[in-house]
Amino acid sequence: MAPSLASSTASLSESDRTAVWHNLVQAIASSSGFECWLEQQPSAAAQPAAIDLLVRRYLRETLETLAY
């Protein structure tokens, strides 16, 4: 059986985890789903936020929608 994601990431150093997160943020931010979501956010244009915060908000809202 393949190791779980949690056990795989637990063995990473903090700098490796940071690099993985940065790469995920870049991949998500360049996705069409994120770009469509961003266009629908009235506050995003008025207040430029860090891409990290926007991606976190996008992921949270997407997961909330899927859980519903």
Instruction: Check whether 17 has a pLDDT greater than 80.
Output: yes
* Average pLDDT of span 50-63: 93
pLDDT of residue 5: 62
The residue type at 66: L
pLDDT tier for residue 10 given thresholds of 50, 70 and 90: confident
Instruction: Check whether 19 has a pLDDT greater than 60.
Output: yes
* Average pLDDT of span 26-45: 89
Q: Where are the domains of the chain?
A: 15-67
Instruction: Check whether 49 has a pLDDT greater than 80.
Output: no
DSSP assignment of 8-20 equals HHHTS-HHHHHHH
